[in-house]
A and B are shown apart, each in its own frame.
Chain A
Amino acid sequence: AQTVTQSQPEMSVQEAETVTLSCTYDTSENNYYLFWYKQPPSRQMILVIRQEAYKQQNATENRFSVNFQKAAKSFSLKISDSQLGDTAMYFCAFMSGAQKLVFGQGTRLTINP
């Protein structure tokens, strides 16, 4: 079974700083997808970024980018120029052919003014 591990329960940075959230996963499959979701206090799950495992190039979405290391099974999220609105729970997630999302434990990120 696939597992997703986020080893940082909480993180806190100052506004405008860069922060990196860690995620590792375990799978025996070769084709899969990785995601980062944001869950603000409203609890609405919002897709931040996705990465296809077959793509070597790291995904980027404006201030959000990932460092995907397939061999190491690592998928970290970098947030540049952090903003107060980035304060939220962040979940790393894995999806394979079964199309089920497996979530990590989450990292609570706080951006301080």
Chain B
Amino acid sequence: GAVVSQHPSWVICKSGTSVKIECRSLDFQATTMFWYRQFPKQSLMLMATSNEGSKATYEQGVEKDKFLINHASLTLSTLTVTSAHPEDSSFYICSALTGSGNTEAFFGQGTRLTVV
């Protein structure tokens, strides 16, 4: 299947700093990527839809200014957590669509963010 690479796998940052997470589609072009957040022992919660060349679409309750998404190319989307706080600590996962009718989602390995 298609490969989606997410980097870094884990990151620790201090409160008040910003951290960037990258999501790359390695062997296909992805016009649409998605960012999820997963709390321990819970399901994936969609944060936003990232569209190449246009502004991201955020789900209700997700702060646009805190979670900046940039999809500057067909193979790269980035999520920047700005002014991070301990409550932002979580597991973040990206996915990209490909396949027939763009209905097959492939996921990155995820990023564990810890804000201290």
Contact = CB atoms under 8 A, between A and B. Distances in A.
B1 A47 contact: yes
A101 B95 contact: yes
Contacts of B93: 43, 45
A44 interface: yes
B1 A100 contact: no
Contacts of B42: 105-106
Interface bin, chain A: 10 to 19
Contacts, number: 46
A44 B110 contact: yes
Contacts of B102: 99
A103 B32 contact: no
A59 interface: no
Given A45-B93, A47-B1, A50-B104, A104 B43 contact: yes
B33 to A, nearest CB: 11
A45 B49 contact: no
Contacts of B97: 99
Residue of B32, B93, B103 contacting most chain A CB atoms (<10 Å):
B103
B43 A106 contact: yes
B34 A33 contact: no
Interface string B40-60: 001110100100000000000
Given A35-B105, A44-B110, A47-B106, 8 more contacts: A42-B109, A43-B91, A43-B110, A45-B93, A91-B44, A101-B46, A106-B42, A106-B43
Interface of B: 1, 32, 34, 38, 42-44, 46, 49, 91, 93, 95, 97, 102-107, 109-110
Interface of A: 33, 35, 42-47, 50, 91, 95, 99-106
